[in-house]
Amino acid sequence: MRQEERKERSKEKILQAALEEFATNGYEAVNIEGICTRHHISKGMMYHYFTSKDDLLLVCIRSTFEALEDKIKNESVSIKDGPVLERIRDYLMIREYYFIDHPLQKKIFEIAIIKTPTTLTKTISELHQPLKRLNHEFISREIKRSKLRSDVTQDQIMRYLEVIDRFLLDIVRSYSTEISDIDRLFQSTEEVLDLILYGVLS
């Protein structure tokens, strides 16, 4: 095996270990020594590639954001027709399907967005910008195609939907206790989005 291949495998082993540790235990409970001990990684190899647990977390967050961005870009091009509610649902569900298939990355995403370490707020915000722009562009297009209430602005709607986007799957799961398959998850998501977008009062 060539030296470059060994280096890549070593880095990949460390990153997978870090991903599992952060996703399972959260940012505060993780330390370099624990990662090395539990995953049989020498400290020398660890510090050859990474300087701290913050460095490790940021790499995990970056890889999660980039993989999610690629997924959304590839999948969203097929969202063209149908009512606005269905299009928004289909777009938001791209991320949820990704997280169903990648539960560790979902935890990393939650650390980054919801439980952001104070010392890393600025850096994580910068890493998140490409994803935010992608979401903003899609939602903005959909808003322009839709009839809005006369007393709300596009900016207000954008902020509202971006907040909802963070917690969509948790809201859906709380709303429906009968989610046993993807079809039911899809149906419940549309029901929740209908209530979010159109309200409950006549």
Contact 89, 189 (CB under 8 A): yes
The tokens for 159 are 């902020």
Is the confidence at residue 8, as pLDDT, over 70?
A: yes
Three-state SS for 181? Answer: coil
Contact 115, 27 (CB under 8 A): yes
Of residues 170 and 119, the one with the higher pLDDT is: 119
- Topology (CATH level 3) of domain 1-51: Arc Repressor Mutant, subunit A (1.10.10)
The tokens for 171 are 């809201």
Amino acid at 92: L
Percentage helix, strand, coil for the chain under 3-state DSSP, each rounded to 5: 80, 0, 20
Closest CA to 62 of 17, 18, 127, 135: 127
Q: Determine the Cα–Cα distance for residues 12 and 6; give it in Å rounded to an integer.
A: 10
pLDDT band at 141 (very low <50, low <70, confident <90, very high): confident
Q: What is the pLDDT of residues 15-45, one digit of tens each?
A: 999 999 999 999 999 999 999 999 999 999 9
Closest CA to 37 of 50, 46, 26, 27: 46
The structural domains of the chain, with segments of one domain joined by +, span 1-51, 59-198
Question: What does CATH list as the number for 59-198?
Answer: 1.10.357
What is the residue whose two structure tokens read 């980039």?
66
